[in-house]
Structures are given as structure tokens and as C-alpha cells.
Amino acid sequence: MSASDFGRFLHSQLFVKLPSPTESYAGKTVIVTGSSSGLGKEAARHYARLGVGKLVLAVRNLEKGAAVKDDIETTTQCAKGVIEVWKLDMASYESVKNFANKVNDELEHLDIVIANAGLNPTKYVLVEEDDSAITVNLVSTFLLMGLLLPKLKATAAKTGTRPTFTIVSSEAHRTIKFDLASVPEGKIFSTLNNKERVDKDGQDQYGISKLMQIITVNPGLCHSEMTDSLDSRGFRMMIAILARSTEEGSRALVHAGAQGAESHGKYLSECKVKDPSSFLLTEQGMLVQGRVWVELERKLEGIWPGIRNNF
């Protein structure tokens, strides 16, 4: 991260207060992935508080999800039956497919998806075809998007509204040391799946996965299970001094889900459209984005033939 980027980060964490959402979500159907804890849980609580018609908690652990459902119902006094808990394990392509099929079969319409589920591993773990950070944060996220786009498009045609699919990213995309532009043509995923490189600097893999998914919203540095579990003393100190509360960070997710065409494909931070990493704005960065998409699309086609037609 450059000195100017770090200065902006400090200013944001110390002086920018994110607005609490106030608009009504009556009649809306919302999915929040990774909603059994952290930012996803608090974003789900906001939706329940604001009168959402149907709220799907998409979680890996159904028992934990049921406890969150009870907690949100108690704290918001939302109507019984508004919140449903559905199984979604982003580490399994089959689980993503099953979840998407359930959405398409059982939901009358779909207005907002907050794709919050993610991993921040520090060591290499093979999940499906790639390292876990790449599989969960990137491939499964776009697999889910591709499989839900028909429902989102059908909702738009039926209601005359603009549904949104929001991917939760991170300022960590500015910090990576790895030079994606130096990777040979067609070798981005295979290079990122190198165990020796990941184990040497696993934290960089998280930033890389976030750089590669950067049509996103950034909630800032927040307290969460993901950050609280890291064992770096320096990072824990930074969390203690600078991190937003989980609830405040979740406001950015709800804000992003409510935005219109002006936010499409854009990076949102501090509840505003912002420029992402300067690398992405360069000619070289744009070329890398195109190469990533070609490889990702090919991978997604292998998982679900014909999915490219949904984008």
C-alpha cells in the first residue's frame, strides 16, 4: 500500500462515520451470504429492522444460522417467517449449485444479494480446484452470481426495479506484493495455486483474491471473526485502535445493495463510489482484468456449461 493510500485508509478509519441505513425494505427479498457472524450477520439485522419482506441467511452451518435467526428476530421484533436459513458452503461448487437451484425454484423474486461470505487463510488449503481463498472468494462468488443472474433479471423485468448483486471486498486489494501482470498468458489460476508461494506469504493471497473480484464494496477495517482470528500481534493492535465495529461496517453492505446504475461495476468505500487500486486504472491493469475474466469464465463454464450466457 502506498503512503497516500495508507493516509486515506487512516483518515477513513479514524474520521469517517458510515451512515446508518434508514430506508424501508418492505416487500423486498434479500439474500446475505456468510450471515452467521460478523458483517453479514449485522447487515441481515439491518434488513430485518427495516422491514424486509423475506430474508435468506445463506450459511455453512445451519445450527449456527438458526441461532442467528432467533437472535435477529428477538432484537428487531420482525415478523416470524420473514427470516429463513439456507445451506450454502462456498467451498463446495455443488453446494453453490444446490443453493442457486433452490433460489430459482422457491423465491418469487430476488431484489438484493449481499455476497459477503469469504475466507482469509494464511496457509495453502486445496478446495475444489484451487487454493481456498481463490475458490471461496473468487470462483464460487462468481459461480453464485452467474447462477442467480437469471432470477435477478427476471425480477427486473417483472417489477421494473434494478436488483443488485453486491460483492464484499477489502482495501487489502491495494496491498498485494505479487505481480499479476508478470504471469504468462493463460496461467493466472495455476500460478496462484502454487502451494509454496501461498505458504510463504499467505496473507497476500487474500489481497489477490480481493483484487481479482473488484466489482465491489469495501466496508473498511472492521472487527469480525476473520480479523480477530489472525495471530499477528501488530495486526491485532491495529484492529484494536482503528477497526470499526461490525455493526458500523455492515452499514456499507446495506448501502451498496440499495444503489442504482451509477454503482454498477464500481468500487464503493465509505458509502461512496471511489477509485480502486491505481494499478487497476492503468492500461496494464485493465489488460490483467481482461485476462482474469477469460480464465475465470473458462473455469466457470467447466463447472456449469452455458453459464457464460447468463452474464
Q: Which residues are catalytic?
A: 169, 206, 210
DSSP category for residue 53: S
Instruction: Give the integer Cα–Cα distance in Å for 218 and 169.
Output: 5
Cell of 265: 461495476
Cα 31 to Cα 44: distance, rounded to the nearest angstrom: 8
**DSSP3 helix / strand / coil % (the chain, rounded to 5):** 55, 15, 35
Among candidate residues 226, 195, 229, 196, the one with its CA nearest the CA of residue 210: 226
The answer to whether the Cα torsion of 197, 125, 37, 54 is positive or negative is positive
Angstrom distances, CA of residue 198 to CA of 191, 202, 206, 231, 242? 10, 5, 10, 17, 27
CB-based burial of residue 189 (10 Å sphere; 0-12 exposed, 13-18 middle, 19+ buried)?
buried
